[in-house]
Amino acid sequence: MSVLRIRRPGRLAAEAAALLIAAAVAFPLYWMVLSALKPAGEIQSTDPRPWTLSPSLDSFRRVLEQHDFGRYFLNSLIVAGTVVVASALVAFLAATAVTRFRFRFRTTLLIMFLIAQMVPVEALTIPLFFLMRDFGQLNTLGSLILPHLAFSLPFAIWMLRGFVKAVPDALEEAAYIDGASRTRFLWQILFPLVLPGLVATSVFSFISTWNDFLFAKSFLISDTSQSTLPMALLVFFKPDENDWGGIMAASTVMTVPVLVFFVLVQRRLVSGLGGAVKD
C-alpha cells in the first residue's frame, strides 16, 4: 500500500502533464476549425473569442466551389499515395538487403543513408530544380514524387532495418527447410512481420508529402493543373485583404485525409512505434 501511495501522485502528475501537452497540441487545430466556422464579421473582429454562437459553412462552401479544387485534391492524393507505396516497397527491399546480405560497402551505404537525413531540404531545393529541369519534369507531378521519394527512403530504410534484423534467422532457416523459396519467405513471412514498421514509416511519408509546399511552389511554375492542395491556399491570399475564413476552411479540408489515414493505421502504427518483432 505504501508503494501505491508513493506511485499514485507521480502517476497523476504524469497524466496531468500529458493532458496539458495534448491540449496545447490540439488547440491550434481547434482554432483552425473554429475560424473556418466563424462568420466573416467574427473572424475580422478585434476581440477574438474561443467560441462562436453563429457557426457558418460559408467558408467551406467557398473552398469547395473554388475552381479546380477537386483537381488539386486528386493531385495531392496521387503524389502522396505514390510516394507512400513506392517508398514502402523500396525501403522494405533495401532494408532486407542491407540486413540479410553481406556485401562490400554495406556499412558505407548505411552511413550515406544517415548523412542524407541530416541535409536540410531547403539547401537542396535549387539543385533539385535544375535537376528536374534537365530531366524535363518541371510542371509535372513527377517533380514532386521523385524528391519526396528520395527524402523519405533513408528514414524508412533505417527504421525497417531494425524490424528485419529482429526477425530470427531460425525462422528463415525453418522456412527454407520446409521448401519455401527466398521470394516466398520474403513476401509471405518476412513482409507480414515487418508490416507495423512499414505502416509507421508510411505515416511519416504521407504527412510530409501531403503538406509539402516548398517543392510544389518551386517545381510547378506555370501549369496550375498540376498543383496540389497546399498551392490552393494561395488563392485565398489576396493583395487587399486575405480571406482567413477560406484559408482556415481549406486547411481543415487538407487535414481530414491525414486524420483518416492515421485512424485507419493507428493500431499497426502503435505496434510499429512500440518495437520490432521479438524472438
What's the N-to-C CA distance of the chain in angstroms? 36
Predicted model pTM = 0.82
Residue 193 burial (C-beta neighbours within 10 Å; 0-12, 13-18, 19+): middle
pLDDT at 276 over 50: no
Residue with cell 483552425: 32
| Average pLDDT of the segment spanning 209-222 | 89
pLDDT of residue 162: 84
Q: Is the separation of the CB atoms in 209 and 84 below 8 Å?
A: yes
Other CB atoms within a 10 A radius of the CB of residue 7 amount to 10
pLDDT digits (tens, 9 = 90+) for 105-118: 888 888 888 787 78
pLDDT of residue 87: 93
